[in-house]
Chains A and B, each alone.
Chain A
């Protein structure tokens, strides 16, 4: 307390010679206060790191969905966030109608998978061979359509979304975090593991990789390339839905829910390497913690400059190391 009071005393008063001897000789009480304050600093640091990890895993989960699409068709799906938002609304609708939470989640996953496959067949398929720019523009169109559609169906009012995890805070030493945070981190890591196993240990996963990396050769081998793409969309949509379901209880559900997150998810994906699932997760976590620490301890960044920092990371990575932390460098033979 003493330490705090002293730092608050106005400089003018001190200059006027109003300094008591007490102030010059820190009493034991003051020393104690000093240590308490140090402890407070460490506690704040730890707390910021923990909440950065939690926010980062949100970025990571959506970044994973972006990476999945990128791996299957070499294109960024700008509508990924909005698709996730839309399916989260579907889950919300189910729970509103009294469906148990986990059943609603499962049903939504199934719907989002089927919906995304259908979307790919109907909207993307006709332009599959078009220049990448065309596909990008179409995904931008989907972004706007799904945002408007969700607003039209469910309105823009903020909705609370049930969390599958308990709400009570957990204390570990001086740091407090919610089981929600822990849940998001856990689910994201589990999803990463599943994706890894799918792509490396199953035939279907291998076929998808082949279709994306060697389209002509894989066709010769009888891999239905079109369906592999649709499958990629479906998986990405499921991952996006998972992200939406984890995010909604924290940032609350409205049609613009994902817009503030998707930019950071892009940054996370680019930072980690746009074609690497591990990179997406590491990138998300690094980004979450970095933003929190920069915001807290670097005065001129404060909390105002988070978004510019995210963009700076995107640009910086693309300039210095386009393949990111874990991505594969592409070599083109000239």
Chain B
């Protein structure tokens, strides 16, 4: 009994203290999590390791841009701290990291978390907590279409459907007699392209003569390419992630099939085209059409634009060791520019709801986007980027051709 009473005497005060401390902490806590008079704390995840770690440099591009902004005085007097963590492209890890950042670090908002599945895994949670999930690095269509259900989530990338809509529009006007074959990844990503192309073709949707899908577990896509070739199509859409896109390009050359080929943006990095050319010769890649909405650091025609100059200047000072020709870094800066823009517009008196409101009233000329591509949002339009420049692979470089096409119009 005595022992128990002693325990009681010790435990109760400790517990009471704990409760007091807890409530005291709560009363005195900053009314807006992650915002102090001098700092804004943002959280994010990128795959710095694991299968998609090539995207890791996006985070480095973002950090370089934030460092540049901070050196120039920050946003409304506050410096941005970006806590970017490695989720290895694994949604299970994203959930852990995001929860820890939300509940222990009390970040103000999440910015540019990467990956469709990774973002889906935390969307419900963040919206329940009313924490903004902004300018995320994925092109799935759901970010734009499900705003009513998830008001705190906003995408950034040109969505996969819009990309395919633009391909479809271009084909319908310029190649009205095309017979189209589609190679697509059998998931939301690939199916978005099929849906978009059908939409963009409009009355010409019957031009799609054959579709073949692959699973990410497939070793290669040669069999599918053979099927598509046998359909007699003269136009090919490759809606694939890099590895399979490169295989498809090489298969095209090995099968001596020369359709007019449209390639999904995610696989259009010059490194990938270079890999395909190395393996399949020029026939694998010559004349392939893709699209761009962010600037291409390897494109000579853009080198003298203010955006590219700023990009190189920032990298020289804040991103030593980063390869300026890597377009992922530039993409990161483009997203960071928009984040800063939204924070600025949200004003000095920062709250999460104000940030959301500002993010949904953007109309900016982002210097890192392709000239002519404007970034716009409104409460009824949650697709920040819906326009793109078509580009053609020519002698180891992407050449822009035709005007910027807008999927909205």
Q: Which residues of A contact B (CB under 8 A)?
A: 4, 8, 40-41, 43-44, 47-48, 51-52, 54-55, 58, 151-152, 155-163, 167-169, 171, 176-178, 180-181, 249-252, 254-256, 260-261, 263-264, 291-292, 295-296, 302-304, 306-307
Contacts and interface: CB of A to CB of B under 8 A. Distances in A.
A36 to B, nearest CB: 10
Given A151-B53, A158-B242, A8 B280 contact: no
A55 B53 CA distance: 28
A292 B53 CA distance: 32
Given A251-B247, A252-B275, A156 B223 contact: no
Nearest to B279: A160
Given A158-B242, A302-B213, A303-B186, A252 B247 contact: yes
B243 A292 contact: no
Contacts of A168: 281
Given A156-B52, A156-B53, A303-B215, A51 B232 contact: no
A176 B50 CA distance: 36
Contacts of B272: 158
Contact of A296 (B218, B227, B278): B227
A192 B361 CA distance: 67
A260 B279 contact: no
B214 interface: yes
A176 B255 CA distance: 6
Interface of B: 49-54, 186, 206, 212-215, 217-220, 222-224, 226-227, 229-230, 232, 242-243, 246-247, 250, 253-256, 271-272, 274-276, 278-281
Nearest to A170: B254
A68 B58 CA distance: 44
A295 B206 contact: no
B220 A4 contact: no
Given A48-B226, A303-B186, A251 B275 contact: no
A292 B227 CA distance: 10
Nearest to A157: B54
B254 A176 contact: yes
A4 B50 CA distance: 47
A260 B217 contact: yes
Closest CB pairs A-B (n = 6): A44-B230, A160-B275, A157-B54, A178-B254, A160-B278, A156-B53
Contact of B243 (A155, A180, A181, A252): A252
Most buried by A among B49, B254, B280: B254
A141 to B, nearest CB: 18
Contacts of A152: 49
A263 B219 CA distance: 10
B227 A158 contact: no
Nearest to A41: B230
A167 B218 CA distance: 23
A43 B253 contact: no
B253 A169 contact: yes
Given A151-B49, A156-B50, A295 B223 contact: yes
Contacts of A55: 219-220, 222-223
A43 B256 CA distance: 14
| Interface class of chain B by DSSP | helix
A303 B243 contact: no
B279 A252 contact: yes
Contacts of A249: 279
A303 B214 contact: yes
Contacts of A51: 222-223, 226
A109 B275 CA distance: 25
A255 B52 CA distance: 11
A169 B255 contact: yes
B50 to A, nearest CB: 7
A307 B276 CA distance: 26
Nearest to B53: A156
Contacts of B274: 160
A196 B246 CA distance: 36
A299 to B, nearest CB: 12
Contacts of B50: 151, 156
A290 B186 CA distance: 21
A171 B257 CA distance: 12
B220 A251 contact: yes
Contacts of A158: 54, 242-243, 246, 271-272, 275
A253 to B, nearest CB: 9
Contacts of B215: 303-304, 306-307
Contacts of B212: 303
Nearest to A8: B206
Nearest to A296: B227
Contacts of A43: 230
A167 B219 contact: no
A4 B220 CA distance: 30
Contacts of A254: 51, 243
Contact of B223 (A40, A41, A52): A52
A176 B280 CA distance: 14
Given A155-B54, A160-B246, A167-B281, 7 more contacts: A156-B50, A158-B54, A158-B246, A160-B279, A168-B281, A303-B214, A303-B223
11 contacts: A157-B54, A158-B242, A167-B281, A169-B253, A176-B255, A177-B254, A180-B254, A255-B51, A296-B227, A303-B224, A304-B215
A250 B53 CA distance: 22
A6 to B, nearest CB: 14
Given A252-B246, A252-B247, A261-B219, A167 B232 contact: no
A324 to B, nearest CB: 21
A159 B274 CA distance: 10
A171 B213 contact: no
Contacts of B217: 260, 263, 306-307
B227 A44 contact: yes
B240 to A, nearest CB: 12
Contacts of A307: 215, 217-218
Nearest to B227: A296
Contacts of B271: 157-158
Contact of B279 (A156, A167, A177, A264): A167
